[in-house]
C-alpha cells in the first residue's frame, strides 16, 4: 500500500532523529500557511516541531519529504548532529559567542532585540549548513530558500535575505542549486559589497587561493567556536547595512513575524508556546528556543553573575537596572542560605490497609466501603491501619510586623570603602564598586527581602525604602523601592522628616537604618524622630564610629549596632530580622 504524504514525512523525520543521535522527539503538524514549512526545536526537551502545508506537494511532487529531511538535519545540528560539530550547541555558546558580539554592534546603532535575534539565527544557520555539507547535499535547504522566494509578492528576496542565500550558496551550494535561486535575486551592488566585506573581515576569504575556495579549511574555520565572536561581529557590521524595516524573511526556525516574511494570517497563529520562557512575553521574542531561554530570569541571573565574576561589563542585551537587580538578588539569596526556616513536622498517611467493621459511634465515613464479615454477611467496613510518611511544612510566624521599611544613607561617603578606604572594588557592573559601603548596604537590603520571601512574609506592597542624601525620597512597593535603591544620590547627608511621616504611621513596624555618618540636620529632627522610632521595632546599623546621632539613640534605648568591616555587616539585617520574628530580640 502506498504511503500517504503524512506517513512519508513522519518516517523521514524519525529516521533523522535516530541517525542524528538526537534525544528529543518530533511533532509533525499540517498547516495552511505560506511559506509552506516551519521548524523549531525546544531547548529543554529537544522536541522538534515541524509544520508543512500539503498544498506545496501538489505543485512540487516529491520535494516535501526532501525539505523535511534537511530541516530535521538543520534542527538537530543546532544541538549537534551525530558525527558533526553543530551550532551553537548550547545556550551559553549561543549567547556569549554569537548573540553578544552581534548585540554589541547592533544595539548602539538603534536595532532592537528582535533584529539581534534574527541576525544571530541567520549566522548560526549558515555555519551549521556548512558543517552538514561535508556529507549532505542539502537539496532540501535550497528548496526551502526557493519556497521563500515563491511566497513573496514580488517573487524576489529582500536585500538581506538575498545576501543570506548567496552566502549559503557560497558555503555549500551546487551549480544546480545556485541556478534555480538566481531568479529571486535583484543583484544590487550593496549585496555584493556586503558579502565581499564580510568574507574579508571574518577571515573566510583568506582561505581562497587565486579565487578557488578551500572548502575543508573554511569548514574547519567555521566549526571552530573560538572564531565565532570575530565572525559574528563581522556579520553584524556588514549585514546590518542591508537591514531596514521589513528586511527579514523566514528562516527555518524563525517566523519572520512583523516583517515582510510574515502574513496577516499569522495573527491567528496556533503556534505552540512550549519551552522555558518564564520572563517577559514570549511573543516579544522571535527566533529559536535558544533566543527564548536566554531571556528567562534564571539564565540572565547566571549570565550576570558570570560577567561579574570575570570582571566583564553588563552584556549589552541586559538593561542596567535589570542587571543590578539580578546581581543583588543573587547576592541577597546567599545571605539567607543559613537562615533557619519556620518549619514544623507532621505526618501524612500514604497507604491504608486491613479492614474491620465500621463503628458508627467513633468512625467517620472516610475510606469506607462494602465488604463481607467473618460470618459472610455484607457490612460497611473501615480500613484498619495506615502507613505514615513524615513531612515538613513551612509555617509563617504570627504577630510579625505588617510594614517593613529600610532607610538607606546615599551620601557621598557611602561610595567609599570601609574605614575610609579608597579601594571600592570592581566597578565594571556595580557603578559604586563591590567593596564600597553602599554595596554592602544593598546586599543587606536584598538579603532582607529574600529572607521575607523564603519565609512567606514578603508582599509587594509592604516593602518601602527611603533614599536620603541631599534630598529625601521614599518609594512604596517592591519594584519602585528597588529602582530607588539602585539610584543613589551620593551627596550630603540630610533627612527630611516631613517626607517620611508615612514610615512612622501605626505601631510596631520593622524599620532599619543603614548609615555611615552623622545626619547634618539631626539636632532639628532628633526629638520627633526618636519619639516615633520608639513606637516600632527599630534597628540602626552604623557603618563606622559613634557620632552624635548614635549616642542619642543609645541614650533613648534605641537599638544601635556598630559595623567596622564588610564581614561584620554581612547578614546582619537577616540575623536581626530572624531573631525578632522568633522572639529573641
Burial 241-279 (b: 16+ CB within 10 A, else e): bbbeeebbbbbbbbbbbebbbbeeeeeeeeeeebbbbeb
Report pLDDT digits (tens) over 209-243. Answer: 777 889 999 999 999 999 999 999 999 999 999 98
The predicted pLDDT at position 285 comes to 47
The predicted pLDDT at position 52 comes to 96
The predicted pLDDT at position 175 comes to 96
Angle, helices 63-79/113-132, rounded to nearest 10 degrees: 110
Mean pLDDT of the chain: 86
The answer on pLDDT for 136 being more than 50 is yes
> What is the phi/psi pair of residue 385, to 5°?
-125, 165
Write down the residue that cell numbers 561610595 correspond to: 415
Report pLDDT digits (tens) over 405-416. Answer: 899 999 999 999
The predicted pLDDT at position 284 comes to 44
CA-closest candidate to residue 329, choices 462, 136, 215, 478: 478
The predicted pLDDT at position 273 comes to 32
Query: Mean pLDDT, to the nearest integer, of 334-342?
Result: 63
CA distance 8 to 38: 17
The answer on pLDDT for 578 being more than 60 is yes
**Which residues touch 460 (CB under 8 Å, ≥6 apart)?**
477, 478, 479
**Which residues touch 221 (CB under 8 Å, ≥6 apart)?**
203, 204, 207, 227
The predicted pLDDT at position 461 comes to 64
The predicted pLDDT at position 399 comes to 59
Strands (E) in 223-342, as ranges, are none
Confidence of residue 324 (pLDDT cuts 50, 70, 90): very high
**Which residues touch 108 (CB under 8 Å, ≥6 apart)?**
316
Q: Which is higher by pLDDT, 401 or 538?
A: 538
Inter-residue contact 494 to 519 (CB < 8 Å): yes
The predicted pLDDT at position 282 comes to 37
Inter-residue contact 409 to 493 (CB < 8 Å): yes
- Going across the sheet that includes 356-357, the strands are 356-357, 378-382, 368-372
Q: Please tell me whether the overall predicted TM-score, pTM, comes out greater than 0.75 for this model.
A: yes
User: Which spans in 430-517 are helix H?
Assistant: 437-454, 478-485
Confidence of residue 398 (pLDDT cuts 50, 70, 90): low
Confidence of residue 292 (pLDDT cuts 50, 70, 90): confident
Query: Mean pLDDT, to the nearest integer, of 290-300?
Result: 89
The answer on pLDDT for 301 being more than 80 is yes
Write down the residue that cell numbers 552623622 correspond to: 518
178-187, 192-201, 276-285, 335-344: least confidently modelled range:
276-285
Confidence of residue 518 (pLDDT cuts 50, 70, 90): confident
Query: Mean pLDDT, to the nearest integer, of 339-345?
Result: 49
The predicted pLDDT at position 459 comes to 77
CA torsion 192→193→194→197, rounded to 10°?
120
CA distance 164 to 243: 12
Query: Residue 45 has which C-alpha cell?
Result: 526537551
The predicted pLDDT at position 331 comes to 95
The percent of residues above 90 in pLDDT, for the chain, comes to 66
The predicted pLDDT at position 257 comes to 52
CA distance 41 to 254: 11
398-402, 412-416, 508-512: least confidently modelled range:
398-402
Inter-residue contact 467 to 438 (CB < 8 Å): no
The answer on pLDDT for 335 being more than 70 is yes
Report pLDDT digits (tens) over 50-76. Answer: 999 999 999 999 999 999 999 999 999
Query: Residue 176 has which C-alpha cell?
Result: 544546480
Confidence of residue 352 (pLDDT cuts 50, 70, 90): low
CA torsion 289→295→298→302, rounded to 10°?
100
**For the domain bounded by 404-581, which CATH number is listed?**
3.40.50.410
The predicted pLDDT at position 395 comes to 52
The predicted pLDDT at position 291 comes to 81
Query: Mean pLDDT, to the nearest integer, of 347-376?
Result: 67
The predicted pLDDT at position 374 comes to 66
The answer on pLDDT for 31 being more than 60 is yes
**Which residues touch 286 (CB under 8 Å, ≥6 apart)?**
114, 117, 118, 254, 255, 256, 257, 258
Query: Mean pLDDT, to the nearest integer, of 423-428?
Result: 94
CA distance 336 to 334: 5
Pairing verdict, β 48-52 and 26-30:
parallel
Domain boundary assignment for the chain: 5-258+284-295, 343-394, 404-581
111-115, 230-234, 265-269: least confidently modelled range:
265-269
Report pLDDT digits (tens) over 545-571. Answer: 999 999 999 999 999 999 999 999 999
**Which residues touch 409 (CB under 8 Å, ≥6 apart)?**
441, 468, 469, 493, 513, 514, 515, 516, 517
Burial label, 580 (beta-carbon count in 10 A; 0-12, 13-18, 19+): middle
Amino acid at each position: 500500500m502506498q504511503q500517504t504524504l503524512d506517513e512519508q514525512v513522519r518516517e523521514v523525520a524519525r529516521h533523522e532523529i535516530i541517525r542524528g543521535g538526537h534525544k528529543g522527539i518530533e511533532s509533525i503538524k499540517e498547516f495552511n500557511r505560506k511559506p509552506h514549512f516551519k521548524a523549531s526545536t525546544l531547548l529543554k526537551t529537544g522536541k522538534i516541531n515541524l509544520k508543512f502545508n500539503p498544498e506545496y506537494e501538489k505543485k512540487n511532487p516529491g520535494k516535501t519529504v526532501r525539505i523535511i529531511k534537511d530541516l530535521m538535519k538543520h534542527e538537530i545540528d543546532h544541538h549537534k548532529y551525530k558525527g558533526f560539530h553543530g551550532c551553537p550547541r548550547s545556550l551559553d555558546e549561543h549567547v556569549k559567542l554569537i548573540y553578544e558580539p552581534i548585540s554589541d554592534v547592533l544595539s548602539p546603532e538603534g536595532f532592537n532585540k528582535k533584529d539581534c535575534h534574527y541576525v544571530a539565527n541567520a549566522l548560526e544557520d549558515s555555519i551549521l549548513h556548512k558543517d552538514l555539507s561535508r556529507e549532505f547535499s542539502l537539496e532540501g535547504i535550497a528548496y526551502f530558500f526557493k519556497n521563500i522566494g515563491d511566497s513573496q509578492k514580488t517573487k524576489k528576496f529582500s536585500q538581506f535575505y538575498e545576501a543570506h542565500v548567496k552566502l549559503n550558496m557560497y558555503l555549500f551550494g551546487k551549480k544546480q542549486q545556485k541556478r534555480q535561486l538566481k531568479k529571486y535575486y535583484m543583484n544590487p551592488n550593496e549585496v555584493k559589497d556586503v558579502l565581499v566585506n564580510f568574507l574579508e573581515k571574518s577571515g573566510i576569504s583568506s582561505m581562497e587561493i587565486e579565487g578557488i575556495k578551500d572548502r575543508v579549511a573554511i569548514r574547519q574555520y567555521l566549526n571552530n567556536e573560538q572564531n565565532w565572536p570575530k565572525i559574528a561581529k563581522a556579520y553584524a557590521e556588514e549585514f546590518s547595512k542591508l537591514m531596514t524595516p521589513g528586511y527579514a524573511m523566514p528562516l527555518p526556525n524563525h517566523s519572520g513575524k512583523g516583517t515582510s516574511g510574515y502574513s496577516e494570517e499569522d495573527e491567528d497563529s496556533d503556534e505552540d508556546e512550549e519551552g522555558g520562557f518564564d520572563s517577559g512575553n514570549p511573543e516579544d521574542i522571535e527566533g529559536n528556543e535558544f533566543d527564548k531561554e536566554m531571556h528567562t530570569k534564571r539564565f540572565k541571573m547566571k549570565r550576570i553573575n558570570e560577567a561579574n565574576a570575570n570582571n566583564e561589563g553588563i552584556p549589552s542585551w541586559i538593561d542596567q537596572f535589570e542587571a543590578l537587580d539580578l546581581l543583588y538578588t543573587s547576592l541577597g539569596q546567599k545571605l539567607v542560605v543559613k537562615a533557619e526556616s519556620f518549619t514544623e513536622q507532621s505526618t501524612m498517611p500514604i497507604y491504608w490497609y486491613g479492614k474491620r467493621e465500621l463503628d458508627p459511634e467513633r468512625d467517620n465515613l472516610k475510606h469506607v466501603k462494602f465488604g463481607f464479615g467473618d460470618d459472610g454477611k455484607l457490612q460497611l467496613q473501615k480500613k484498619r491501619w495506615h502507613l505514615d510518611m513524615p513531612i515538613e511544612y513551612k509555617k509563617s510566624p504570627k504577630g510579625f510586623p505588617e510594614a517593613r521599611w529600610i532607610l538607606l544613607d546615599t551620601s557621598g561617603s557611602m561610595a567609599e570603602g570601609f574605614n575610609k578606604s579608597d579601594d571600592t572594588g570592581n566597578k565594571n557592573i556595580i557603578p559604586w564598586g563591590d567593596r564600597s559601603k553602599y554595596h554592602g548596604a544593598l546586599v543587606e537590603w536584598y538579603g532582607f527581602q529574600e529572607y521575607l520571601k523564603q519565609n512567606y512574609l514578603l508582599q509587594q506592597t509592604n516593602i518601602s525604602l527611603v533614599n536620603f542624601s541631599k534630598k529625601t525620597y521614599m518609594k512604596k512597593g517592591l519594584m519602585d523601592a528597588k529602582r530607588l535603591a539602585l539610584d543613589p544620590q551620593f551627596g550630603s547627608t540630610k533627612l527630611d522628616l516631613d517626607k517620611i511621616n508615612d514610615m512612622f504611621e501605626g505601631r510596631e513596624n520593622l524599620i532599619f537604618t543603614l548609615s555611615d555618618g552623622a545626619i547634618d540636620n539631626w539636632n532639628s529632627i532628633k526629638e520627633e524622630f526618636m519619639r516615633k522610632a520608639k513606637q516600632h521595632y527599630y534597628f540602626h546599623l552604623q557603618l563606622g564610629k559613634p557620632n552624635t546621632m548614635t549616642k542619642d539613640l543609645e541614650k533613648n534605648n534605641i537599638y544601635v549596632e556598630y559595623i567596622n568591616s564588610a564581614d561584620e555587616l554581612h547578614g546582619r539585617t537577616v540575623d536581626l530580622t530572624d531573631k525578632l520574628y522568633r522572639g529573641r530580640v
